[in-house]
Amino acid sequence: MKQAKITISLILLIIAPFLGLAQEEKSYQAFWVHEDRVKPGMTDTYEKVTKDLVAACKEHNVQETEWITLRMNDNKYLYVSPINSLADLDKNGFATLSEKMGADKMNALFARYDETYNKHGDYVIYLNKELSYQPGGISQTVEGENYRVMYYNYVTPENDKGFADTMKKMKAAFEKNNSKMHYRVYKSGFGVMGTFYMVALASKGEAHGAQRGDENWNLMKDDFEPLLKELNKHTSKMEERRGWMRPDLAYKPAK
């Protein structure tokens, strides 16, 4: 997570049109994702650095930044921060940390990341609230349910609209059956090669998620099965990924 936010102002002019569109539409929420691909043998060291970073932000009450953290099953760590405006992007929380902590100490903290990962980078995704199904209110965090299964559905330009239209039908079917299996839908943005729709499902763990999936299938198979086939027609490639939310590696400023 090596001072990722310090470079963000360099791409403001490029991503401004995308962010402007997302914020004009209330059904969308933009998120900035920083991804670290951590060496398996350096996991403990990496997490210790991140915990020290979180502790430093808490100690100095850094207000300009926040993030939730997801550890993937392939040892990628995703740090997801909401973006409400271009001004939010330009606020550098780590600059505040540098001022309060001291530049030398902060740089030494970030330098400890260098040996722990092979690659890292940034991109933007958009939460599509109109396509998501979470009757109690859209939230990325679900109390007691930190396990995540994520389906990445890649679409080509000619199939983009068709996939979104089918997802609208899917949501209507879930609402009709009052399904207990909730999901959120994200669409890729700046920094991603190609286009995907990612469907994220939360549960307590793998067994709990599988049980909920079976119950949902039995509840709405007649509606669900044909819609899955329709989605497949609009999908050029699908990937399934799993991970755990890590509240201990997340940061939210105290108010």
- Domain at 127-243, CATH class: alpha beta
Return mean pLDDT, the chain: 89
The per-residue pLDDT for range 204-254, each reduced to its tens digit, is 999 999 999 999 999 999 999 999 999 999 999 999 999 999 999 999 998
* Residue 89's pLDDT band (cuts 50, 70, 90): low
User: In the prediction, which pLDDT does 96 show?
Assistant: 87
User: In the prediction, which pLDDT does 85 show?
Assistant: 59
**What integer is the mean pLDDT of 154-176?**
97
Q: Does domain 4-123+245-249 have CATH number 3.30.70.100?
A: yes
User: In the prediction, which pLDDT does 94 show?
Assistant: 84
The per-residue pLDDT for range 116-130, each reduced to its tens digit, is 999 999 899 999 999
**What integer is the mean pLDDT of 54-73?**
94
Would you say residue 139 has pLDDT above 50?
Answer: yes
Q: CA nearest 185: which of 174, 193, 177, 11? A: 174
User: In the prediction, which pLDDT does 8 show?
Assistant: 41
**What integer is the mean pLDDT of 13-35?**
64
User: In the prediction, which pLDDT does 65 show?
Assistant: 87
Within the chain, all domains assigned CATH 3.30.70.100 are found at: 4-123+245-249, 127-243
pTM for this model (two decimals): 0.87
Would you say residue 9 has pLDDT above 50?
Answer: no
User: In the prediction, which pLDDT does 84 show?
Assistant: 75
